[in-house]
Amino acid sequence: MGVTLREIREGDLEDIMRWRMAEDITRYMNTNPKLTLDGQKLWLASVREDPSVRYWLIEVEGQPAGVINLTRLDDPEGNLGWAYYVGEKRLRSIKTALSLEMSLYDYVFLTLEKRAVYSDVFSLNKGVIQLHLLCGCEIVEEKKSHVCKEGVWYDVTFLRMTAERWKELRETKKYDRILFGAV
């Protein structure tokens, strides 16, 4: 499996826009955006200037596949947020998902030396919740009717991985390591 991460370029924005508006992606996100290329250019400029976030383009076998990001990098207590999606259906696999998640933990805890990383997942997204649990995350909280999207309320499950827990679990996990570089 050849999964790499790189800086997002302006030439990636049409793919990102298409993925982010795809129903199979947005049904698990807080919004169903109506994006434009001009809006995407403004978004990219803003995240490049924001020291509290980092975004990478995911490539699988050299093909653009999705986006992964960290948020709250400036949190004084070292508690980050993260999210990702693989927008290209043909490039999705459990192996890629596991490697992305566990490599992100390596980066957050071993390179950045942060304390914890959190994710929030629509509770109906059972597959992603199970993936996070398989990687060693723990459920912190489940909030009923937490997000309203287009008049429908969704339950949200909040999960966490701590540096201490990852350091205990890391050697028991089998995954292809993916390098996270500075962007």
- State which fold the 3-114+166-172 domain adopts: Aminopeptidase (3.40.630)
Query: Would the pLDDT of 183 be above 70?
Result: no
What are the C-alpha distances in Å from 140 to residues 80, 99, 115? 14, 23, 15
How large is the average pLDDT for residues 124-146? 97
Q: CA triplet 129, 56, 116: central angle to 5 degrees?
A: 50
Pairing between β-strand 116-122 and β-strand 79-86 as defined by DSSP bridges: parallel
- Closest C-alpha to 125, from 30, 18, 22: 30
Tokens of 154: 């969704």
- The band of 111, judged by pLDDT with boundaries at 50, 70 and 90, is very high
Q: What is the DSSP letter of 30?
A: S
CA 10/CA 174 separation, integer angstroms: 34
Give pLDDT, residue 181: 79
pTM of the model: 0.95
Question: 143-182 pLDDT, tens per residue?
Answer: 999 999 999 999 999 999 999 999 999 999 999 999 997 7
Q: What is the pLDDT of residues 85-102, one digit of tens each?
A: 999 999 999 999 999 999
Cβ-based neighbours of 163, under 8 Å, separated by 6 or more: 108, 109, 113, 114, 115, 116
Sorted by where each begins, the domain ranges of the chain are 3-114+166-172
Averaged over 133-146, what is the pLDDT?
A: 98
Write down the pLDDT at residue 1: 55
